[in-house]
Amino acid sequence: MRNFALSVLFALVAFAAQAQSWPSKPVKFIIPSGPGGTIDPLSRFLADQYSRIFGQNFVTENRPGAQGNTGLAAIAKAEPDGYTIGLAASSMIAINPHVYRAMPYDPRKELAGIVLIGDVPNILVVHPDLPARDLREFIAYAKANPDKLNFGSTGSGSSMHLAGELFKTITGTTMTHVPYSVPADATRDLISGRLQLMFQLMTGIQAQVKAERVRPVAVLSEKRWPGLPDVPTTAEQGMGRLKSSVWFAVVAPQGVPQQVIERINTETNKLLADAEFRGRVQALGAAPMGGTPADYRKLYDEDYARWAEVVKVSGAKID
């Protein structure tokens, strides 16, 4: 028994020493998507900054599949020594568990949130021919035309889909969801009039709004979007419950040493306080965030519960 206790003690001392010297070798930075979008360039930019700050290479590795489940499962199942981390999108960890009938990991129990990086809100946009210029007018039009409006998304269970389902639940309206596998096709059909509206992510539609190919109705957020400062939010228009966005956070396997979490969190918050870094994050389409691991958990728990209810009502599922 004494030898066993000594072995455990030595192991704990060695583990603590490794944490203190972290990182002493390259760190794998998993991107749970393919190239493109927001999460891939944001991950690569962040990994480059970490390589500079910590003096070790943070090697990016794309692991696409199952709307982020493949890559995040690889992080969750990795050794919790601080040498495998990555960037998670909130849709992957707060929506997927409710729409997938089987998950390869449990994000609540197997992932440790380290720091929030950035947030991209959804925005309600309509075809210019629709006679609605604000949220009140659009709700009235939707109620007067039940089942005559089609809204597009990037697939069942996506933030765009569930934002539409949330809108229907809050307003008591009925609309038809049209899922697309290629986001550009949905945008093209909205511009042509085959779709009447979308609850698109800001990064995917901002250019079309500025070109006046689609009309913005409301940003699904509490704060206005800097790139479209004249577009009011749902909160401003009396519908604060209609809130939807995709945020990004650095995550690691549960059980990573606290010293590692604190170092990454501290250095990342320093970056997010730097004007140049914030500008780069904004240029990639996200509003900079930051904060503590507790801030991450609070936001995550809120989103997890909110989308659970929306999925339950809508019946959205992915086999």
* Contact partners, residue 314, CB within 8 Å, separation at least 6: 162, 165, 168, 169
Per-residue confidence (pLDDT) for residue 181, from 0 to 100? 87
Per residue in 302-319, is it b (16+ CB within 10 Å) or e — as a string? ebbebbeebbeebebebe
**What is the domain-level CATH number for residue 159?**
3.40.190.10
Is residue 159 located within the same domain as residue 76?
Answer: no
Contacts of 56 (CB under 8 A, 6+ apart): 23, 24, 25, 26, 27
Query: What is the spatial distance between Cα 209 and Cα 214, in angstroms, rounded to a whole number?
Result: 5
The predicted structure's pLDDT at residue 309: 95
The pTM for the full model equals 0.91
In a domain, 113, yes or no: yes
For residues 61 and 152, state if they share a domain. no
Residue by residue, pLDDT tens for the chain (319 residues) are 555 444 444 444 444 555 678 999 999 999 999 998 899 999 999 999 999 999 999 999 999 999 999 999 999 999 999 999 999 999 999 999 999 999 999 999 999 999 999 999 999 999 999 999 999 999 999 999 999 999 999 988 999 999 999 999 999 999 999 999 888 899 999 999 999 999 999 999 999 999 999 999 999 999 999 999 999 999 999 999 999 999 999 999 999 999 999 999 999 999 999 999 999 999 888 999 999 999 999 999 999 999 999 999 988 888 6
Residue with tokens 């995709």: 246
- The whole-angstrom separation of Cα 89 and Cα 238 is 28
Q: How many domains does the chain have?
A: 2
Asked whether residue 114 falls in the same domain as residue 130, the answer is no
Give yes or no: residues 28 and 94 share one domain. Answer: yes
Looking up residue 288, the CATH number of its domain turns out to be: 3.40.190.150
CA 275 to chain centre: 22
Range of the domain at 210: 121-219
